[in-house]
Amino acid sequence: MSHVVQEKWSSGTAFLLAAIGSAVGLGNIYRFPYVVGENGGGAFVLLYLGIVIVFGIPLVMTELTIGRRRQVPPITAYTQLSEGKKSQPFWIFAGYSSVITPLGILGFYFVIAGWTLNYVFKILTGKLSNLAEGDTQAVFADMMASPGTLIFWMTLSVIITAFIISRGIKAGLEKAVNILMPMLFVILLSLVAYSAFNGGMAETFEFMFTPDFEKINMKTLLEATGQAFFSLSLGSATMLVYGSYLPKEVSIPKMACGVAFADTFVALVSGFAIFPIIFTNGMELNSGPGLVFETLPVIFDQMPFGNVFGIMFFLLLAFAAITSTISLFEPAVSNLEERGIFTRRKASLVVGIGLWCLAALSALSLNVLSDWHPLAFNSTLENKNIMDLLEYLSANGMMLVNALFAAIFLGWIVNRKESLEELGLGDSWLFKFWRSIIKYVVPPIVGYLIIDFLGYGLI
Ligand code: PHE
């Protein structure tokens, strides 16, 4: 049924950069530090690391395998690999579900990507300099209250993303990550060096790695798993589609370890870039999402060379965001193109316009539509506006569901031989270990988390 021969990454390294680019995003630099802050530090970090190792790496392997096995886009991959099974219609549905989820994520992600672009501009034009106490809150609040500003910068992030996607794998995605990822690493490491120079490292170390196990409960477990899945780009067709472009000779287990390692490294290093600045300046940590957009600018304004580092910091966020938005945008385009419904360029345009509308609603839900709670009939969702809903349902709920589908699919439905050949581990203990995890460990635990998620009043 395929009308188009899929392009491939030019090498394992090209894939690795793109997949790390996808994984490293707002989830690492913007969200991870404040979630760690909200959940009390060390215990959460250790739990997070455990989840990445036990579930994260095996699930990245799983999704890459489903994607690469037939080298076709996600929905077709589910369709072809379940050929001849009675449950095939269900798996086709799972394919759709995994392709729709990243669109929901982009509905809010594009808006935040827009904030980061706007902050690069603000800091470059001196709007974040010489501030008095409380001014950064006002700057942030002004941005949030202005539909025009939010929509302008969100539109820019949609255009950049759709443009990169429209150029295809090698000339678009690969070229973008080749430029952005090295810059991202240089900026990140300079920021840590700057932070280290200004003190606060010992406190950061203690905060991040001294566990207080009393702080761990079901809710933290759910939160840490959600954060890990989000950060590793699981449950959203991204790894399926990036896997489908992976040349056959590249080792999936190695790639999965590389992605998980780099992603976790960046999350931790972001903590080491941000927390010391907060500690040495005696600021509060539990400020939630305001950490990056309200607290940090105050400090950048006061520190020596703070402006330069401020610019670097927001550029870092913007680069990280764009290399992730492209990976969320690609699955839908890849499916549309393969089915011959649109050329890649038209598909990028159509998906871009659709997502722009959704993201515009999200942006407006921060101001003029803030009182519109579309799912108010449900007690958990009654106070959520569009942007909150998109985040809650796609990033917290659907990602878990899709990751569970992928594990059950490859563990229980698809013939063992398919993964055996694809993973290249032979019939070794490592292969058996991986398979036991996705067959017996992931389904009950992730299944339980989903039930628990639903239990927070969704049903
Ligand atoms: N991993 C990205 C981040 O941490 C977000 C993402 C989720 C990207 C799912 C692709 C798929 O920001």
Tell me the per-residue pLDDT of 166-191, one tens digit each, with 9 for 90 and over. Answer: 999 999 999 999 999 999 999 999 98
What is the C-alpha separation between 285 and 279, in angstroms, rounded? 8
The letter for the amino acid at 125 is T
SS (H, E, C) 62-105: HHHHHHHHCCCCHHHHHHHHCCCCCCHHHHHHHHHHHHHHHHHH
Quote the CA–CA distance of 254 and 263 in Å, as a whole number.
Answer: 14
The verdict on the CB of residue 235 being under 6 Å from ligand 1 is no
| Distance (Å) from CA 194 to ligand 1 centroid | 27
Among protein residues, the one with the nearest Cα to ligand 1's atom 10 is: 233
Whether residue 336 contacts residue 162, with contact meaning beta carbons closer than 8 Å, is answered with no
Cα–ligand 1 centroid distance for 263 (angstroms): 10
pLDDT, average across residues 153-166: 98
Distance of alpha carbon 245 from alpha carbon 254, whole angstroms: 16
Q: What CATH code would you report for 12-453?
A: 1.10.4160
Ligand 1 centre to CA of 267 (Å) is: 12
Distance, in Å, from the CA atom of 373 to the CA atom of 391, rounded to the nearest integer, reads 14
Q: Which of 240-249, 276-285, 322-331 has the lowest mean pLDDT?
A: 276-285
> Poorest-confidence range of 86-95, 384-393, 448-457?
448-457
Residue 264 CB less than 6 A away from ligand 1: no
Query: Mean pLDDT over all residues of the chain?
Result: 92
Ligand 1 contacts CB of residue 27 (under 6 A) = yes
Q: Is 102 in the pocket of ligand 1 (CB under 6 A)?
A: yes
pLDDT over 60 (residue 231): yes
pLDDT surpasses 70 at 4: no
What's the predicted TM-score (pTM) here? Answer: 0.94
Q: Where are the domains of the chain?
A: 12-453
Å from CA of 233 to ligand 1 middle: 4
Q: Which residues contact 14 (CB under 8 A, 6 or more apart)?
A: 174, 177, 178
Neighbouring CB atoms inside 10 A of 383's CB total 9
Residue 116 has pLDDT above 90, yes or no: yes
The answer to whether the CB of 72 falls within 8 A of the CB of 2 is yes
The SS3 of residue 217 is coil
**Ligand 1 atom nearest residue 399's Cα:** 9
Given a cut of 60, is residue 229 above it in pLDDT?
yes
Q: Using an 8 Å Cβ cutoff, are 135 and 326 in contact?
A: no
